[in-house]
Amino acid sequence: MIRSFFLTASVLFGAHGLFAQPLDSLLNEIPLRNPGLKGKYQKYEALMERPAQARQWPEPELGLTFIAFPLPNTSPLPNASLGVMQPLPWKGERAKKANAALAEARAAYEEAGIDLLDLRASLKTAYWKLYELEASASALEENLELLRSLERLATARLEVGSATLTNVLEVQLRILELEQQQKQLRNARRAPQAQINQILNRQPGQPVILKVVPAMAETPRRLDSLARQIRQTYPGFAALDYEKEASRQRQAVNRIDRKPGLAIGLDYAVMSKGEGIHAGDGKDMWMPRLGLRLPLFREPYDAKEREESLLQSSLSYEGDELANALAATVEQSLARLEDARLQFELASRQKPVLETAIRVMETAFSTDKSALPELLAYYEKWVALTLMEIQAVTSSQQSLAEIERWLRE
């Protein structure tokens, strides 16, 4: 009478195969549907417009001066002058500004990668939680079928006087209890379903039909290289490195700004025309101009230097803290994964023994009404072991998802 849960689960989930979505299909939709993630990548695209801006030369300055009141014809001053000045950047200044802008854009790209990994892990966690709730409800339904059969048997025996009303009521109470638990499980699925729909930018109540073959997650191989792989691929470390690089480039630009700035230009002067003996005077002329920017106030540059140095030190501390969080999270996830494996192994070893005991007690109940309480206890134990298997699968898959949160594919 006891069927394999995993066979039951396969039938349950396979019945909706036409509408079901496997986990990988949902994961692939995240970059296409999640608005927050799309916004992060669009921010990166916006920041990528800055390097080209930073490489441009400073804008030239055009100036015009003129005399607002009449002057004697013999005045040596020009009536008006038109000039243009071009500031000259130091060698490498524009490249460093562009490199700083590029590093900031790349840091934004890596931050979007962090969000993608977080969203993938959250969706996996919710997906497997949804599996746990649906599979648990399915396991209760299987047990309910057994109890209903037992209720019919007890009722038939009551009619012929070989069972008591108490036997029937005990079974009915257990049926009511399991039906209530089943309703609670089906209601609880709304939370992970809403989380999945939020990640995929869908309506909260849109049904999520699972297509999953339940299996224990495997422990990642080569655990000794796992931390190194994460350190090399996790975008959080790359984002910190790019922020440091941007800071170093800004620091280099600040040191260049401390130097005097040079500008060259040309003026065209319109001279007043003389009369009489000065009739040949007043020829217009071109005049070269040279400008010099003097950074006399040093404190802003000193403060900027200290700011960037402190920022780089802060980013180094953030990297150390991130590495510590990485190691702790992976270790905790591995411990939960191993604990889930042990729970699954225990349930798998106990269930065949329990099923044999249930068959013996079912036979005993057919002749001895006093065996009912023990039979019900065995049914309850069987449900508990089945739920333990389901929870172990869920826990192992969620633990693996926490590890994969740190791994860029």
At residue 182, the 3 state secondary structure works out as helix
Q: Are 272 and 73 in contact (CB under 8 A)?
A: yes
pLDDT at 369 (0 to 100): 65
Q: What is the pLDDT of residues 41-63, one digit of tens each?
A: 999 999 999 999 999 988 888 88
Mean pLDDT of 355-382: 81
Cα gap 120→309, rounded to integer Å: 35
261-271 and 285-293 strand pairing:
antiparallel
The secondary structure of the chain in percent helix, strand, coil, rounded to multiples of 5, reads 70, 10, 20
pLDDT at 59: 87
**pLDDT score of 65 more than 90:** no
pLDDT of residue 32: 94
* DSSP-derived 3-state class of residue 372: helix
pLDDT of the residue at 212: 84
Which DSSP string corresponds to 242-253? HHHHHHHHHHHH
Using the predicted structure, report yes or no on whether residue 3 has a pLDDT greater than 80. no
pLDDT in tens, 269-309: 887 765 544 444 567 788 888 888 888 888 999 999 999 99
Q: Please choose, from the candidates 182, 104, 114, 189, the residue with its C-alpha nearest in 3D space to the C-alpha of residue 145.
A: 182
Written as one string, the DSSP assignment of 207-230 is ---B-----PPPPPS-HHHHHHHH
Whether 24 contacts 214, CB under 8 Å: no
User: What is the model's pTM?
Assistant: 0.83
> Residue type for 210, please?
L
Say how far apart CA 241 and CA 234 lie, in whole Å: 12
* Contacts for 306-310: CB closer than 8 Å, 24+ residues apart: 308/247, 308/248, 308/250, 308/251, 308/254, 309/251
Domains delineated in the chain? 5-33+94-259+299-404 (1.20.1600.10)
pLDDT surpasses 70 at 10: no
- Calculate ∠ Cα 97-103-107, nearest 5°: 150
Closest of 391, 392, 405, 390 to residue 338, by C-alpha: 392
Q: Which helix (H) or strand (E) holds 41?
A: helix 35-47
Q: Which residues pair with 64 in a beta bridge?
A: 82
Is residue 341's pLDDT more than 50?
yes
Residue 7's pLDDT is 39
- pLDDT for the residue numbered 9: 46
